[in-house]
Amino acid sequence: MSPLKLFCFSVLLCFLGVATLAAQEKPYFVTYTQDLEEPGNLEIETKTAIARPDASNRFAATALEFEYGLRAWWTTELYLDGQTTAADSTIFTGFRIENRLRPLNSEHIINPVLYVEYENITGADKTIIEVVGHDGQSDLATPNAEARKEHQHEAELKLLLSSNLRHWNISENFIAEKKLRHAPWEFGYAIAAARPIRAAYGPRECTFCAERFILGVESYGGLGNTDSLTLHDTSHYVGPTAQWQLPGGIRLTFEPAFGLTDSSLNRLYRVGVAYEFEHFGRRFKKEAQ
């Protein structure tokens, strides 16, 4: 399966349903904000990363995300990861279970959120959901048949800090990840800022009005590990990001990211497609009765 076919298949997965978006999401792929899913709502989203490591084949990796609001202060997610590499193969690379907990319900200048994740993936995973430690493009160039033999059971912790200043959102994430064996903690970061082109003043049934577009910038990278907390031999990316929130519940996000170090990919293209099913939990309970 070619990268183009994988991307089209990912988009198709997200269009198998009907939904209504309740609020504007931020156009970030790696950085998390203080926003949690509304209780009982289910959001389905694909996040696809397309790139080509030096002297290797182009790949497209997709994370299919199911995000559910359990409580106003608790959101849980399931990720199913897969990738296809040109002139190689298409494989499933594992799953992730994520929980985000917001200790403070009211809005503050800085809003903290605690993030806990368990990963069960293989070395062939190329979704690049985060960058930690000494992750580099060489890790993405290993043939699938060899990389999938490496099984990674990892725990990941994040401190998410986010602020809404007038129409701007500014968010900072600090990441710590560890393989559940004898391995050092690996560290990383993600920083982003965004705002709508024009603030929304009320519901408008329009497709191309300025308040339906959100623009921003996102940067992320690795910070070494407990053996060597450093910027040396680490990957870092920065790029503009844009989101288009269409009428009828479709959300499209695009980000071209550019590598800043020799360890980084030269270019990394990200595409996201999402739906949100409002009151999904209530509908499920009714059907069960």
Condensed to tens digits (0 to 9), the pLDDT of residues 197-207 reads: 998 756 667 88
Give the percent of the chain with pLDDT over 70.
Answer: 88
Q: Whole-model pTM?
A: 0.88
pLDDT at 225: 97
- Cβ-contact 97, 76 below 8 angstroms: yes
Nearest-angstrom CA–CA distance, 139 and 161: 29
Neighbours of 281 (CB within 10 A): 15
pLDDT of 57 above 70? yes
pLDDT at 125: 98
| Averaged pLDDT for residues 215-230 | 96
Neighbours of 158 (CB within 10 A): 22
**Contacts made by residues 232-236, CB under 8 angstroms, sequence distance 24+:** 233/134, 233/136, 233/263, 234/131, 234/133, 234/134, 234/135, 234/136, 234/261, 234/263, 235/131, 235/134, 235/135, 235/136, 235/137, 235/259, 235/261, 235/263, 235/264, 235/265, 236/131, 236/260, 236/261, 236/264
pLDDT at 16: 36
pLDDT in tens, 71-99: 999 999 999 999 999 999 999 999 999 99
Neighbours of 217 (CB within 10 A): 15
| Total H helices, total E strands in the chain | 3, 13
Neighbours of 4 (CB within 10 A): 11
pLDDT in tens, 265-280: 999 999 999 999 988 8
| Averaged pLDDT for residues 232-252 | 94
User: First-to-last CA distance in the chain?
Assistant: 42
Q: Is 143 exposed, middle or buried (0-12, 13-18, 19+ CB in 10 A)?
A: middle
Confidence class of residue 289 from pLDDT cuts 50, 70 and 90?
A: low
| Averaged pLDDT for residues 105-112 | 93
What superfamily in CATH does domain 3-288 come from?
monomeric porin ompg (2.40.160.40)
Nearest-angstrom CA–CA distance, 265 and 77: 28
Confidence class of residue 249 from pLDDT cuts 50, 70 and 90?
A: confident
Instruction: Look over the chain and give the mean of its residue pLDDT values, rounded to a whole number.
Output: 89
Report which residue type is found at 74.
W
- Cβ-contact 78, 64 below 8 angstroms: no
Token output for 68: 């559910």
Token output for 177: 């990840």
pLDDT in tens, 126-160: 999 999 999 999 999 999 999 999 999 999 999 99
pLDDT at 5: 43
pLDDT in tens, 11-48: 343 333 333 333 468 999 999 999 999 999 999 999 99
Buried b (16+ CB within 10 A) or exposed e, 248-268: ebbbbbbbebebebebbbeeb
Give the percent of the chain with pLDDT over 90.
Answer: 78
Q: Where are the domains of the chain?
A: 3-288
The dihedral built from the CA positions of residue 92, 125, 52 and 217, taken in this order, carries a sign that is: positive
pLDDT of 116 above 70? yes
pLDDT at 282: 73
pLDDT top residue among 152 and 288: 152
pLDDT at 207: 87
| Averaged pLDDT for residues 257-269 | 98
